[in-house]
Amino acid sequence: MSALSAVIPRDPFQLLTISLCVIGIFLATIFGLALVPKGKPEQKPSTLQAYLKFFYACFVKPHTGDETGNQQDALESFYKAQAEVYDATRTRLLRGREDMLGLVAAQLKHRAEVGLISQRPVWVDIGGGTGHNVEQMGEFLSVPDFFRSVYVVDLSPSLCEMARKRFTRLGWQNVKVICQDARAFRLHEHESEAHQRKQKSLQGQIVRDLDENADAGGAELVTMSYALSMIPEFYPVIDSISSLVSSNGLVGVVDFYVQNQIEYQSRNYTGGVIDRHCMWISRVFWRTWFEIDRVNLEAARRDYLEYRFGTVISVNARNNFFGVRLPYYIWVGCSKHHGTSTAKLAEIDAAATESPYLSALDLQTGPVQTDVEVRSKAYESAIVNLQSSLPLPSTWYQNHHWRIHYDESLRKHTRFNNSYIYAFTWEDDRADARLLKVTPDDVILAITSAGDNILSFALDNPRRIHAVDLNPTQNHLLELKVAAFTALGYADVWKCFGEGRHADFRALLIRRLSPHMSSAAFQYWLQNGPGVFSTKGKGKGLYYSGGSGNALALVGWLFRVLGLSAEVQTLCAAQTLNEQREVWRRSIKTVLHSRLLTWAVLGNEKWLWKALGVPPAQRDMIEEDYRKQADFDADATTPQAAAPPRTHTSGHAVYEYVLATFEPVVTTTLLSTSNHYYLLALLGHYTPASHPTYLSPKSHLKLSRPAAFHGLRIHTDEISEVIARMRPGTLTIVVVMDSMDWFPREGKQALRQIRALNRALKVKGRVMLRSAGLRPWYVGVFEGEGFACKRVACRVPGSCVDRVNMYASTWICTKERSIEQEDVKLNLRKSSMGELKI
């Protein structure tokens, strides 16, 4: 011990010095081994060597290129030591590149199919480095066959050399590597068509710059992958992109970012802000960290990009990189002026408002004497943006104009917590078709809900369908279904909405569905869809999501606790009504009528309302009918001794209502073949023998036609707000489901909506509604406001009003006279009387 003590110094400074020396020698040895080439020159370094070189170049090696003040020298100083291992070390760090390529590839294919761009487009990849992006594009498109020319532009000679080797190995002759400052790259110097176009445009003009004037001959695609954040003078580079891209071309960018919501919350052109905000600590840390490697994360880069172009799709994501969440974004844009002419905007807006200018879009609808100029909120926001030299809201740049722009920041939308309530629709589409008899001349307005009823109406090919819902995510679900019918074959549509599961949902969303969706809807499903449509785990799938999914999960849990899971499976597989009735009577019905379950339901009324989703006004209707029936039983001359005693509690009233709903359904409709509503509630999915009409192969043929949804407009707003901005007397059918039940009797909401419906409907136009009441109080309001009301279906004990049997009555209210005209006449009469008095 004494000898050892003599060797080891006791001075702490000496200990620290020795430790640092040991660590230095260790690191030097490691870096030496990493940097010394081993084996054949073309042999790739090992993973360990690759990451050691990456660490050395990023955090240890001095940036000698800064001394000259030349950007190329600075880049070369940073990349030369790691060019060989660049691709191997960026796979986990630079997430989102493949997603961006998939999105632009899907957009390009769609635009080529509809003739908006050349069948063999030109692609410029700015900051393309080693050419990794171009090779990865091969996963989505055949680069040699699809593109006429591809230009990889980068300022680092070392990375460009790696790119040339890559394309020599691949044998792609149409890919050219240009080692040049992106600010100076001009397409007409390399493309003959662009050069000819440039010469023609400059005849007799003074040459002020080298831009292509963004016309024919420009690039149909310009991309930047983690390059914008590394360019010091980014303004001229973004400006140069606008001259490179053609009028119908696309720009795709993926990069790191940090931003505060205060900076963008008042903008309506960003395409959605899901997960865009970064916490303070995240903003400070990542901005400081990346500055070490000359990467700049200030928000101005992304902001200017969004200002100079129109946003088609925008995504905010996080890369879980070694346990930390690194923010990055994917952005796909187009020319800011693409389709922004006032005439074009008015034409698109006409279908949203049924305006008198609709003749430009739909020759079947002509002007009438009562025509007034009406505009939607979306049109008004577009005009405001144009007057301020801002891009239009993102929905105006979509390939389809199904979705109408809305302000996602409003409290009335955000209160739904970015979640839908209904994953399926509890409205019997067969009953709707029988009662309404939709024709090609009809203009329909209906509540979106889960969108099933909207698709059923689309099968009858009416002139226009206005889908309205205040909850944005309900409309996101409808958009997803419409996009699926537009882009997918029947097998994939069935997996998504028949089984409610799809193992490749994320790939389908990016590669096939994205060109047919608004940016907000795409963001929502990219964030939530993979989990919603997951094939892993029990109790997963579309129909176990949303508020209604919670109810299905609760039903399944209840049957498992009660040991009835096997009986439920037998009930759903029954092939005859007698077999189904037997299963119901011997087990399930007995449990539903048990004292234990009755006590559990009645014991906590607050839980009852939350579980069933019964609003107070609708609950009052159920109680009122229950009391009337109780009073009738008490006054009846027929002995009622055998009847169970009734109590006047709201819980008991709803409980009896629910039992009266289920019993006739099970005893009169066969779940396995003709009642998919309750089959779904029990199984969590549809079957090939029992499903909604829109999910049949025959329906897919109709709904997948190119013009199947030409007349669809999706509004995110209240019904009253939508119809207030429509030409009077244009709607022929309005379907409000049971929404009128939600209005309080003492308020004026029902009266205002009914008067608005009278204004928007044609004479003989119809409102169809369902109610939990046998005769809801607001029917009298309809009758007092120019409607003739008829109860077309009524639930009686032991029978079904329809296959759902959830509502006590169904009504059709037909407009007989115009309240608006009567008000005008009344005002004129009052005015005349006043003049006579004077």
Q: Is the pLDDT of residue 640 over 50?
A: no
Question: Is the confidence at residue 114, as pLDDT, over 80?
Answer: yes
Strand ranges (DSSP E) for 392-458? 443-447
* CB distance 831 to 819 below 8 Å: no
Q: Which fold has domain 91-335?
A: Rossmann fold (3.40.50)
Q: What CATH class does 419-496+694-821 carry? A: alpha beta
- Name which of 413-422, 517-526, 606-615 the model is least confident about: 606-615
* 109 within 8 A of 399, measured Cβ to Cβ: no
193, 368, 555, 707, 729 from 353: Cα distances, Å: 43, 15, 42, 20, 12
Overall average pLDDT of the 52-69 stretch: 55
Q: What is d(CA 627, CA 394) in angstroms, rounded to the nearest whole number?
A: 53
Write down the pLDDT at residue 806: 87
**If pLDDT is split at 50, 70 and 90, which confidence band does 76 have?**
low
Which of 37-41, 377-381, 617-621 has the highest average model confidence (pLDDT)? 377-381
Residue 457: per-residue pLDDT = 96
Over pLDDT 70: what percentage of the chain? 76
- The residue-averaged pLDDT of 780-797 equals 93
**Coil, helix or strand for 154?**
strand
- Taking residues 523-546, report their average pLDDT: 89
| pLDDT (0 to 100) of residue 398 | 93
pTM of the model: 0.85
* Residue 803 near residue 827, CB atoms below 8 Å: no
Pairwise CA distance, residues 733 & 715, whole Å: 16
pLDDT of 213: 43
Whether pLDDT at 4 is above 50: no
- DSSP helix/strand/coil, 329: strand
- Cα torsion angle, 314, 316, 319, 320, sign: negative
Whether 258 and 287 have beta carbons less than 8 Å apart is answered as yes
Residue pair 282/327 in contact (Cβ under 8 Å)? The answer is yes
State whether the Cα torsion 488-494-497-499 is positive or negative: negative
Distance of CA 296 to the CA centre of its chain: 30
Confirm whether 91-335 and 419-496+694-821 share one CATH topology. Answer: yes
| pLDDT at position 135 over 60 | yes
Q: Find all residues with CB under 8 Å of 616, minimum gap 6, and list them.
A: 609, 744
Distance between CA atoms of residues 374 and 724, nearest Å? 9
Residue 80's pLDDT band (cuts 50, 70, 90): low
CA 289 to CA 321: how far, in whole Å?
14
Q: What digits encode the pLDDT tens for the residues 464-501?
A: 999 999 999 999 999 999 999 999 999 999 999 999 99
Band the pLDDT of 658: cuts 50, 70, 90: confident
Please give the average per-residue pLDDT across 451-465, as a whole number: 95
Rg (CA), the chain: 33
Residue pLDDT, tens place only, 659-690: 788 889 998 999 999 999 999 999 999 999 99
Of 21 and 171, more confident = 171
Answer whether residue 26 shows pLDDT above 60: no
Mean pLDDT of 38-43: 46
Rounded to whole angstroms, the Cα distance separating 179 from 129 reads 9
- Distance in angstroms (rounded) separating the CA atoms of residues 158 and 738: 67
**Using one digit for the tens of pLDDT, what is the confidence trace for 695-749?**
999 999 999 999 999 999 999 999 999 999 998 999 999 999 988 988 888 888 8
Query: Of 127-141, 192-206, 230-244, 464-478, where does the model show the most confidence?
Result: 464-478
What is the bridge-based pairing of β-strands 324-335 and 443-447?
unpaired
pLDDT band per the 50, 70, 90 thresholds, residue 49: low
**Chain segment 301-337, per-residue pLDDT in tens:** 999 999 999 999 999 999 887 778 899 999 999 998 8
| Count of C-beta atoms within a 10 Å radius of residue 596 | 9
Sequence spans of domains, the chain: 2-69, 91-335, 342-390, 419-496+694-821, 544-683
DSSP H helices in 271-341: 280-291, 300-308
Q: What whole-number distance in Å separates Cα of residue 449 and Cα of residue 780?
A: 26
pLDDT above 50 (res 212): no
The confidence score (pLDDT) of residue 553 equals 86
Mean pLDDT across the stretch 115-136?
A: 91
pLDDT of the residue at 507: 96
Work out the mean pLDDT of the chain and round it to a whole number: 82
Q: Is the pLDDT of residue 232 over 90?
A: no
More confident residue, 182 or 84: 182
What pLDDT was estimated at residue 646? 43
Q: What pLDDT, on a 0 to 100 scale, did the predictor assign at position 500?
A: 95
DSSP 489: -
pLDDT at position 488 is 97
pLDDT in tens, 810-838: 999 999 999 876 665 555 555 555 554 54
Query: Which burial class, exposed, middle or buried, applies to 504 when counting CB atoms under 10 A from its CB (0-12, 13-18, 19+)?
Result: middle
pLDDT tens readout for residues 549-603: 888 888 888 888 888 899 999 999 999 999 999 999 888 887 766 655 655 554 4
Task: Examine the pLDDT at 267 and tell me if it is beyond 80.
Answer: yes
Whether residue 757 has pLDDT greater than 90: yes
Other CB atoms closer than 10 Å to residue 102's CB: what's the count? 24
Q: What is the dihedral of CA 90, 95, 97, 99, to 10 degrees?
A: 150
- CA gap 74, 87 in Å, rounded: 20
If we measure between CA atoms, which residue out of 377, 321, 190, 171 comes closest to residue 198? 190
Model pLDDT for residues 604-628, shown as the tens digit of each residue: 555 555 555 567 788 788 888 888 7
pLDDT, tens only, 160-188: 888 999 999 999 999 999 999 888 898 88
